[in-house]
């Protein structure tokens, strides 16, 4: 018989454990519905070149937004490594807390999106970097956000290498993403190539440009023959 069976010992739950045990509820026409919001995988250093490429592109997207006058949100698990490549123009650019009036379920989704550009307490652009991981997971996070906040005007972008272009556009066009209340994701979520983001980053007058310049580099599935 084990020592634990002979002398029972209680182990207290951590705040994180207690949080996971609490159901996440969203309101629907038929009443509250329990939903699951999976935790994002931690970015760990030993994922070598693929992970480094993801972090570097996060930093590039963050720096572009910074230079264009946006406040920036980076998931807390990523920010230490992102700050190795991006140096904010001021200590108020990188947000420590999201200044958003959303419910806890929505906030849990938002805080794990790779990069957010925020202006006046509103998300203007949301970016998922898909260097080598599943494109579908990033799209699901965007779809969750748009489903829970159908009236929020947020431009979503999947940033990926050119070799993944066709796959990104195919995934955006999945039937499941065409039935969102706010409209098909093929109309609201674009593909941005690494090359396009790098070209935009090198623009000398970036600080004087409107964020609509992203449209010059973005591709939408509904407008593209892929």
Task: Report whether 194 contacts 162 (CB < 8 A).
Answer: yes
Q: What's the pLDDT score for residue 22?
A: 54
Mean pLDDT (whole number) for 113-117 = 96
Per-residue pLDDT of 145-156, as tens digits, reads: 888 888 888 899
Give the whole-angstrom CA distance, residue 137 versus residue 188. Answer: 17
Residue 175's pLDDT band, with cuts at 50, 70 and 90, is confident
Residue 56 sits at the vertex; the CA angle it makes with 54 and 62, to the nearest 5 degrees, is 105
Task: Report whether 100 contacts 123 (CB < 8 A).
Answer: yes
Per-residue pLDDT of 121-138, as tens digits, reads: 899 999 999 876 667 778
The DSSP code for 39 is P
Q: What pTM was computed for the model?
A: 0.78
Strand (E) positions, the chain? 24-28, 31-35, 71-73, 115-119, 122-129, 155-160, 189-193
Q: Residue 218 burial (CB < 10 Å; 0-12/13-18/19+)?
A: middle
- Please tell me the least confidently modeled range out of 17-21, 110-114, 170-174: 17-21
Ramachandran angles phi, psi of 163, nearest 5°: -65, -15
Nearest to 112 by CA among 79, 68, 71: 79
């Amino acid at each position: 018989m084990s020592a634990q069976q002979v002398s029972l010992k209680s182990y207290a739950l951590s705040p994180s454990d207690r949080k996971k045990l609490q159901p996440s509820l969203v309101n629907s026409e038929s009443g509250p519905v329990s939903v699951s919001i999976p935790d994002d995988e931690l970015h760990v250093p030993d994922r070598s070149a693929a992970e480094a490429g993801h972090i570097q592109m996060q930093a590039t997207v963050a720096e572009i937004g910074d230079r264009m006058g946006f406040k920036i949100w980076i998931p807390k698990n990523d920010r230490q490594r992102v700050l190795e490549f991006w140096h904010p123009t001021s200590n108020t650019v990188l947000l420590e807390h999201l200044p958003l009036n959303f419910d806890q379920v929505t906030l849990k989704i938002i805080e794990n999106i790779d990069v957010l550009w925020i202006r006046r307490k509103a998300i203007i652009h949301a970016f998922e970097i898909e260097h080598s991981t599943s494109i579908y997971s990033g799209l699901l996070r965007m779809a969750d956000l748009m489903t829970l906040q159908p009236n929020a005007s947020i431009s979503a972008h999947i940033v990926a290498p050119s070799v993944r272009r066709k796959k990104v556009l195919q995934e955006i066009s999945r039937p499941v993403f065409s039935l969102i209340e706010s409209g098909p994701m093929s109309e609201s979520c674009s593909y941005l190539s690494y090359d396009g983001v790098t070209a935009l980053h090198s623009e000398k007058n970036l600080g004087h440009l409107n964020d609509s310049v992203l449209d010059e580099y973005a591709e939408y599935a509904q407008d593209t023959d892929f």
